[in-house]
């Protein structure tokens, strides 16, 4: 088993996903997964419906749901409203290509 840290962005946290789970001081939720798990399995592990996640990030970079995870990775699950905002900021070319790489 390995532990990754999952951040629920925007509506995902406001809508109560993660409620009842222990939370790290940085607002992430520790999630234990089998070695070799993917971002998709982290979404499942947090009980978030797949349709609620518009974008995923791994350690500060946009990633696909099939991306493999390693212990201590930071996974961010982003709903459509926040993803739209991030895309708009990326279009403005704010010099944050690693985050706004769409």
Mean pLDDT over each residue of the chain, to the nearest integer: 86
29: β partners: 6
Q: What is the pLDDT of residue 52?
A: 93
Strand order in the sheet with 2-8: 29-33, 2-8, 74-78, 55-58, 61-63
Domain boundaries, the chain: 2-91
Q: What is the band of 102 on the pLDDT scale with cuts at 50, 70, 90?
A: very low
Q: What is the pLDDT of residue 28?
A: 95
Q: Each residue of 48-63: pLDDT tens digit?
A: 999 999 999 999 898 9
6: β partners: 29, 75
Cα 57 to the center of its chain, rounded Å: 5
Q: Which of 85, 89, 86, 61 is nearest to 75 (CA)?
A: 61
Q: Which fold has domain 2-91?
A: Ubiquitin-like (UB roll) (3.10.20)
């Amino acid at each position: 088993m390995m532990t990754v840290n999952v951040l629920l962005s925007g509506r995902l946290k406001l809508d109560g996903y993660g409620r009842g789970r222990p939370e790290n001081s940085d607002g992430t939720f520790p999630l234990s997964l089998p070695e070799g798990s993917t971002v998709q399995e982290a979404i499942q592990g947090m009980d978030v419906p797949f349709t609620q996640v518009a974008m995923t990030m791994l350690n500060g970079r946009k990633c696909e749901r099939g991306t493999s995870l390693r212990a201590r990775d930071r996974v961010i699950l982003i709903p459509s409203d926040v993803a739209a905002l991030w895309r708009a900021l990326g279009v403005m070319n704010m010099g944050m290509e690693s985050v706004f790489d769409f």
